[in-house]
Chains A and B, each alone.
Chain A
Amino acid sequence: MPEPTEPTVVERPTDAVDGLDTGDFVQRRLGVGFWLAVGWVFLIVGAALLAPLLPIGDPEEIGAGPRQDGPSWAHWFGTDSNGRDIFSRTIWGARVSLMVGFVSIVLGFLVGGLVGVVSGYFRGATDRVLSFVVFVMLSFPSLVLFLLIISIVGQGLWVVSLTLSVLVVPSVARLGRAITIAFAEREFVAAARLLGATNRRVMVREILPNVLIPMAALLLLGLGLTIVAEGGLAYLNLSVAEGFSWGKMINLGASPRTLRSAPWVAFFPIGAMFLTVLSLNWAGDRLRQYFDVRELGIGSR
C-alpha cells in the first residue's frame, strides 16, 4: 500500500469555481452594476407575474383618466389617447413582451444547443449536414420568414414565440458547436469513451455540464435580443394579435403628432424595454466574461 506521498489536497484560494458560493467574492468580480441589473430584471418580472394582484387599474379601461394627460399622482405615467392608464399598461404589457421573449429564447437555446452539441461532438458528415442547415437558416431573410409563417398560421402567442425561436436556433447552434468542439478534444472525453461510455452518455455527462454554463450566460443576452425583436414586430403589427405588449404601446404613441403632444405615451414603454434589455445585456455580458476568463479560453478577453 503506497503512502499518500503528497499533501492530499492542495489548498488554493477560493477564487476557483466554488467562489460562486461566497457572495462577497462574486460582488467584487461581477460589480455593482451586475446586481443593479439583476435587481431590475427581478422587479420587472415580478411585477409582470403579479400584475393581476397589484393595486393598479385595469389597463384596458377606456377613460380611466383624461385623454393624453401627463404624469400625475393619479396616473403616474400619464394616460394615452383613449384615456387608459399607462403605468398599468406598462406592467401588463411586460407580460406579453417577456413571455414571448422568454419562450422563444428558451426554445431556441434548447433546439440550437442540441444541434450545436451533436454537430460539434460527432463532427464529420453529421456536422457538415447540420452546419449546412444552420448556414441556410442564417442566410434566410428573417422578416420574410416571419411574415410567411404569421400569414399562414396566424398571430397567436405560441406561433409568434415559436417563429422567433426558429430565428434564434442557428446562432445558438453555431455557438454551441464552437464550445462543444473546445471540450470534445479534451482528454477527459477520450477517457470516457475508453471506459465504454456511449456517445449519448459522453454528451450528457462530460460535455453538456461544461457547455451549459457559458451558454446560460449568453441566454440572458439572447433574451434581450428576442424582447427587442418582439417589440419591433409588435410595432409593425406583426406580433401577438391578442392583448398588447410594449411594442404595441410604442406603436400607439409613435405618430409624430402624439410624440409632440404626449411623448409619455411612447416614452414609458420604450423606457421599460430599454432598461430591461440593458439590464439583461449587462448581466449577461458580465457573466460571460466571468466564465470565459475562468474556464474556457474562448470568446473575448
Chain B
Amino acid sequence: MAGSGTAHLRTADDVVLRVENLVMEFPAGRHQVVHAVSDVSFDIRRGETLGIVGESGCGKSTTARAIVQLPAPTSGRVLLDPGTDREAELTALEGEGLRQVRPRLQMIFQDPISSLNPRRRVRDIVAEGLAIWEGESGDEQVRAKVDEVLEAVGIDPTVAANRRPHEFSGGQCQRISIARAAVLKPEILICDEPVSALDVSVQAQILNLLEEMKSRYGLTLVFISHDLSVVRNVSDRVTVMYLGKVCEVGNADAIYSSPAHPYTRVLLASAPEPASTVDESESAIGDEIPSPIHPPSGCRFRTRCPRATDRCATEEPVLQELAEDHFVACHFPS
C-alpha cells in the first residue's frame, strides 16, 4: 500500500475541499522523523460525506489536524472551494488571514469532556463563535441563535444553557460540541472519531444527529473512524489509510462490495461480523504495525501483506483507477 498519486482527485466544480500531497512529519529526537502522514490527497464534493478509516496510528487524526492547520502540515496544499471565487488555500495563509477563513471549517473531537472548557457555561461555549464574529453571548440575536442550535442538537436550552460541562454525559457533551461547531454554519465539518468514546447505545444517536445536522445546515462531512461499520453507515465515499498513506479510495458501496486492496480486505475481515465479500481467514496478518519513524520501503503494507513480492519492496504503488470511482494503490489488487 502506500499510495501516493492524485489520479483519484476529481475536477467537478462542486468540490469544497481538496487536499493535495499532504505531508506531516514530526521530529522524534536524535535527528529522527516520524512520518505521520506521507503524501495523502483527497477531495470532497459539496454535501458529500467522506469517511476516513484505518487502524490507530495510521495518521487519520493527524490528517484532520493538518487540514485545519493545527498544526500546519509539513508540506502539501489544502484548498477550500477550489476554482471558485471563494477559493482559499489554507496552507498559504497564516495569522489574521487564516483566522478569517476558519469559520468555514469546523471540527468535532474524540474526547467529549476535553472538548468543552470546564469553566464556561454551555451558553457561552456554544455562543463563542458568534461572540467572536458577531456579538457577545448576552445579545438578543446571539441568544436566539444559540437557543435554536441547542434545540437542533436535542439539548433543552432552558435547562442546560447555564450549566457547566461536567453536569452532562459524554453524549450530551458531544451534542454541545456539535452545536458549537454548527452555530457558525460552516461548509465543512470534520468529525475526528466523534463516537469512539461513547457507549454503543449513544453512538447511534450521535450518528443520527450528525445526519440531521448535515441536511439541516447543508454541511459537508469528513468522518474519521477506526470502525468500519460506523464509517459505512454514514459515508458516501471512503478513504482507507495505512501508516500515513492512502490504500484505497472509492464510493462506499464499491469499497465494501469489492474491496481491492489487501489491507481493506483485512479490515473488513477483522470486523466482529466480517463482510460477506471477504473470508474471515484474511484477517490473519502477522506483526505489529511498523514504526512510522522507519516505514517500510516501497509499499508500506508489504511487511504484513499476504501478496507481497520483491516488487513491493522497491516500487511504491500509485493510486490507479480500478472501476468508476474506485481507486487502489496496490500492484496486485483483487
Instruction: Report whether chain A binds chain B.
Output: yes
Hey, which bits of chain A sit against chain B, CB under 8 A?
A: 1-6, 8-10, 12, 16-18, 186-188, 190-198, 201, 205-206, 209-210, 295
Task: Flag whether B152 is at the interface (Cβ < 8 A).
Answer: yes
Within the complex, the shortest CB–CB distance from B180 to chain A, in Å, comes to: 7
B128/A6 in contact, CB under 8 A: no
Q: How far is the CA of A196 from the CA of B129 in the complex (A)?
A: 7
Within the complex, the shortest CB–CB distance from A192 to chain B, in Å, comes to: 6
Q: How far is the CA of A206 from the CA of B132 in the complex (A)?
A: 13
B116/A195 in contact, CB under 8 A: no
Which residues of chain A are near B125, meaning CB under 8 Å? Answer: 188
Which residues of chain B are near A197, meaning CB under 8 Å? Answer: 128, 132
B115/A187 in contact, CB under 8 A: yes
Contact of B169 among A2, A10, A190, A191 (CB under 8 A): A10
A196/B105 in contact, CB under 8 A: no
Question: Which of A16, A188, A190, A209 has the most CB atoms of chain B within a 10 A radius of its CB?
Answer: A188
Residue of A nearest to B204 (CB): A5
Which residues of chain A are near B120, meaning CB under 8 Å? Answer: 205-206, 209
Within the complex, the shortest CB–CB distance from A135 to chain B, in Å, comes to: 21
B160/A8 in contact, CB under 8 A: yes
9 contacts between A and B (CB under 8 A): A5-B205, A6-B169, A6-B202, A187-B109, A187-B110, A194-B105, A195-B132, A197-B132, A210-B117
B106/A210 in contact, CB under 8 A: no
Known: A4-B155, A5-B205. A192 touches B128 (CB 8 A): yes
B100/A196 in contact, CB under 8 A: yes
Which residues of chain B are near A191, meaning CB under 8 Å? Answer: 107, 109, 115, 177, 180-181
B160/A9 in contact, CB under 8 A: yes
Contact of A12 among B99, B100, B159, B167 (CB under 8 A): B167
B166/A195 in contact, CB under 8 A: no
B180/A210 in contact, CB under 8 A: no
Those of B137-184 within 8 Å (CB) of chain A: 151-156, 159-160, 163-164, 166-169, 171-172, 177, 180-181, 184
A198/B99 in contact, CB under 8 A: yes
B115/A195 in contact, CB under 8 A: no
Within the complex, the shortest CB–CB distance from A126 to chain B, in Å, comes to: 15
A190/B208 in contact, CB under 8 A: no
Q: How far is the CA of A176 from the CA of B23 in the complex (A)?
A: 34
Those of B83-105 within 8 Å (CB) of chain A: 99-100, 102-103, 105
Which residues of chain B are near A205, meaning CB under 8 Å? Answer: 117, 120, 128
Residue of A nearest to B98 (CB): A196
Which residues of chain A are near B106, meaning CB under 8 Å? Answer: 194-195
Which residues of chain A are near B129, meaning CB under 8 Å? Answer: 195-196
Q: How far is the CA of A198 from the CA of B98 in the complex (A)?
A: 11
Q: How far is the CA of A162 from the CA of B245 in the complex (A)?
A: 57
A209/B99 in contact, CB under 8 A: no
Which residues of chain B are near A201, meaning CB under 8 Å? Answer: 132
Known: A191-B115, A195-B128, A205-B120. A10 touches B168 (CB 8 A): yes
Q: How far is the CA of A86 from the CA of B68 in the complex (A)?
A: 68
Contact of A1 among B128, B152, B177, B180 (CB under 8 A): B152
Q: How far is the CA of A171 from the CA of B220 in the complex (A)?
A: 48
Q: How far is the CA of A191 from the CA of B181 in the complex (A)?
A: 8
B133/A196 in contact, CB under 8 A: yes
Known: A9-B160, A16-B166, A209-B119. A3 touches B154 (CB 8 A): yes
Known: A8-B155, A205-B120, A206-B117. A195 touches B169 (CB 8 A): no
B132/A188 in contact, CB under 8 A: no
Closest 10 CB pairs of A and B: A209-B119, A187-B109, A195-B129, A196-B102, A187-B115, A188-B117, A4-B154, A2-B154, A8-B156, A187-B114
B167/A10 in contact, CB under 8 A: yes
Which residues of chain B are near A206, meaning CB under 8 Å? Answer: 117, 120
Task: Flag whether B200 is at the interface (Cβ < 8 A).
Answer: no
Q: A6-B202, A206-B120 are in contact. List 11 more A-B contacts (CB 8 A).
A: A2-B152, A2-B153, A3-B154, A6-B154, A6-B171, A6-B172, A9-B167, A191-B109, A195-B103, A196-B99, A196-B102
Task: Flag whether B209 is at the interface (Cβ < 8 A).
Answer: yes
Task: Flag whether B323 is at the interface (Cβ < 8 A).
Answer: no
Which residues of chain A are near B169, meaning CB under 8 Å? Answer: 6, 10
Q: How far is the CA of A194 from the CA of B167 in the complex (A)?
A: 25
Which residues of chain B are near A198, meaning CB under 8 Å? Answer: 99
Which residues of chain A are near B118, meaning CB under 8 Å? Answer: 17, 210, 295
Which residues of chain B are near A187, meaning CB under 8 Å? Answer: 109-111, 114-115
Contact of B172 among A10, A16, A17 (CB under 8 A): A10
Q: How far is the CA of A9 from the CA of B165 in the complex (A)?
A: 10
Task: Flag whether B253 is at the interface (Cβ < 8 A).
Answer: no
Contact of A8 among B102, B115, B117, B159 (CB under 8 A): B159
Task: Flag whether B212 is at the interface (Cβ < 8 A).
Answer: yes
Residue of B nearest to A185 (CB): B114
Within the complex, the shortest CB–CB distance from A236 to chain B, in Å, comes to: 43
Within the complex, the shortest CB–CB distance from B173 to chain A, in Å, comes to: 10
Which residues of chain A are near B109, meaning CB under 8 Å? Answer: 187, 190-191
Task: Flag whether B70 is at the interface (Cβ < 8 A).
Answer: yes
B115/A5 in contact, CB under 8 A: no
Residue of A nearest to B99 (CB): A196
Which residues of chain A are near B202, meaning CB under 8 Å? Answer: 6
Within the complex, the shortest CB–CB distance from B249 to chain A, in Å, comes to: 26
B114/A188 in contact, CB under 8 A: yes
Residue of A nearest to B169 (CB): A10
Which residues of chain A are near B212, meaning CB under 8 Å? Answer: 2
Which residues of chain B are near A10, meaning CB under 8 Å? Answer: 167-169, 172
